[in-house]
């Protein structure tokens, strides 16, 4: 009806607790550094293998040279000293930050209220509706504003409780010290090179999540969304008529 006009402010809600907001932005910085430093390390040896061993000349499952970037070109782009230094530094920051985030929000039941799924949200029909809404970039309105949909909850839970631990473990499984600390961990992944390859695949999965996450922020209104992650205040737009 009054579609062209500015949405009126009807209500503000407090969306994220301080812990979530601080951890979120630390994680933004850490994640960026981890990806960039990881790419630097990778460029110094731009092939991926399956199993325990892998080296130049061995059967690779991925070669950057097949994509038009030679070893020398990749090596010139990557700096593994810088990469290793920052990768381990931000791995620590990320692990400490993530532990505080998960511990704090399990303790104060933030996860129970906001991330864990109710029985009705787990229904096939509700997830299907969610999915269609997301694909059509339809934003939630009215009562459901400020609450995660079932699909969002599942995505966050996967990132927090599956992909992040997987990243840590597949990283540890590449470290020489773990051949003595826990060879079982390396064997669990099917060998050191498999762990390295899965580390990269898991990273790509996380980046896919990040892309969708950022797109959703813009679809839902970047200013409002980003402000709510800084100050906690989220402005609920007046329900528009369809």
Partner 1 sequence: MKNPVSRREFLAGAGAIGSLMLVGCDANAYLPPKVRGGLMGVSDVLTMATQRLMLSGQPLAQEHDVSEITKNFPTWGNTNPRQEDFQRLLSGEFVDWRLPVNGLVNRPISLSLEDLKRLPQRTQITMHICEQGWSAIGQWTGAPLLEVLRAAGGVADDARYVVVDTFDGWYESYDMFDVVHPQTILAYGLNGKDLPLGNGAPVRLRVERACGYKNLKFLKSINVVSSMEGIRGGTGGINSDSNWHWYAGA
Q: Which residues bind partner 1 (CB under 8 A)?
A: 41-42, 44-45, 47, 52-57, 80-81, 84-85, 88-89, 92, 174-177, 179-181, 183, 186, 192-193, 196
Cα–Cα distance measured from residue 37 to residue 236, given in angstroms and rounded to the nearest whole number: 39
Measured between alpha carbons, how far is 193 from 189 in angstroms, rounded to an integer? 9
- Considering only the C-alpha atoms of the chain, give the largest distance between any 2 of them, rounded to a whole number of Å: 69
Closest CB to partner 1 among residues 4, 57: 57
Least distance from partner 1 to the Cβ atom of residue 218, Å: 33
Give the Å distances, CA to CA, from 230 to 11, 131, 210, 234. 18, 28, 18, 10
Using alpha carbons, select from 21, 58, 5, 8 the residue that is nearest to residue 237. 8
Nearer to partner 1, 135 or 180 (CB): 180
Q: Answer whether 24's CB lies under 8 Å from 15's CB.
A: no
**Which DSSP symbol is given to 47?**
E
| Tokens (6 digits) for 181 | 């600390």
Closest-CA residue to 186 (of 240, 163, 196): 196
**Shortest spacing between CB 32 and partner 1, in angstroms:** 16
CB contact at 8 A, 177 and 186 = no
Is the CB of 55 or the CB of 107 nearer to partner 1? Answer: 55
Give whichever of 42 and 111 is closer to partner 1, judged by the CB atom: 42
Look up residue 52 and give its two tokens.
Answer: 């325990």
Minimum CB separation of residue 44 from partner 1 in Å reads 5
CB of 181 to partner 1, least distance (A): 5
> Which CB, 25 or 55, lies closer to partner 1?
55
Q: How far is the CB of 132 from partner 1 (least distance, A)?
A: 42
What are 68's two structure tokens?
């038009």
Complex with partner 1: residue 155 or 182, whichever CB lies closer: 182
Give the sign of the dihedral formed by CA 230, CA 232, CA 238, CA 240: positive
CB 176 to partner 1: min, Å: 4
Rounded to a whole number of angstroms, the minimum distance from the CB of residue 144 to partner 1 is 42
**CA atoms of 178 and 154, how far apart (whole Å):** 32
Q: Which is nearer to partner 1, 81 or 112 (CB)?
A: 81
């Amino acid at each position: 009806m009054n579609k062209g006009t500015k949405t009126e402010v009807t209500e503000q809600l407090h969306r994220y607790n301080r812990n979530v907001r601080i951890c979120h932005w630390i994680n933004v910085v850490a994640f960026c550094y981890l990806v960039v430093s990881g790419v630097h390390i990778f460029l110094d040896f731009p092939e991926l293998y399956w199993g325990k061993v892998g080296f130049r000349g061995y059967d690779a499952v991925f070669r950057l040279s097949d994509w038009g970037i030679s070893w020398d070109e990749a090596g010139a782009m990557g700096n593994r000293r810088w990469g290793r230094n920052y990768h381990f530094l931000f791995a620590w920051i990320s692990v400490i930050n993530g532990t505080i985030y998960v511990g704090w929000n399990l303790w104060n039941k933030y996860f129970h209220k906001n991330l864990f799924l109710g029985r009705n949200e787990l229904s096939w029909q509700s997830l299907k509706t969610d999915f269609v809404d997301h694909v059509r970039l339809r934003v939630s309105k009215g009562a459901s504003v400020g609450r995660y949909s079932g699909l969002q909850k599942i995505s966050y839970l996967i990132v927090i409780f599956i992909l992040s631990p997987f990243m840590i473990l597949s990283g540890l499984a590449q470290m020489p010290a773990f051949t003595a600390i826990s060879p079982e961990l390396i064997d669990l992944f099917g060998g050191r090179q498999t762990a390295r390859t899965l580390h990269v695949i898991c990273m790509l999965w996380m980046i896919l999540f990040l892309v969708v996450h950022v797109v959703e922020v813009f679809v839902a209104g970047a200013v409002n969304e980003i402000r709510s992650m800084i100050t906690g205040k989220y402005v609920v737009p007046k329900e528009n008529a369809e």
